[in-house]
Amino acid sequence: MTIEENKAVVARFYEELWNGRRLEVADEIFAPGCVTHQLRSGAPAASASRSPADVKEHVASWLAAFPDLRFEVEQTIAEGDLVMTSSVMRGTHAGAWMNVAPTNRAATIRMSVVQRIAGGRIVEDWVLVESLGFYQQLGLVPDSREIFARAAR
């Protein structure tokens, strides 16, 4: 596949699957044994295989918790079989998420994702989400100034 074709697969991930709420697109753009690597500061990458059905369940759970959720891709860089995106996800926490009752707070989450494409499908991805700011926006974690003030005591 060409770099442009790979970028088109990733564009479908954001525009059709997430923003378009077309969960069936996961069947077309994810390989059955896609491996996702969740990247976290100070911890080894948590890797897990996920099927298109797993992806649909994941997306559906986020959409249930953040019904107005939208992605905006700010940058796309591609080389060979890899496509990297820098994006912003915005939504209002109006439904339960990860056993957290709705806060009705708006949240903006920055993330970087690298996706490896083979045969027109996503076969592997590395996901880095700016979680601390997200948790702070929902009121689950104190503001950074408060965290530093506590640490200085």
pLDDT tens for each residue of 79-88: 999 999 999 9
| Rama region for 24: left / alpha / beta (φ>0; ψ in -120 to 50; rest) | alpha
Which band of pLDDT confidence, cut at 50, 70 and 90, is reported for residue 35?
Answer: very high
147 pLDDT tier (thresholds 50, 70, 90): confident
Provide the mean pLDDT of the chain: 95
List, in sequence order, every beta strand (DSSP E) within the chain.
Answer: 30-40, 43-50, 70-79, 82-92, 106-118, 121-129
Check residue 1 and give its pLDDT.
87
The pTM assigned to this predicted structure is 0.92
| 15 pLDDT tier (thresholds 50, 70, 90) | very high
β 106-118/121-129 pair status:
antiparallel
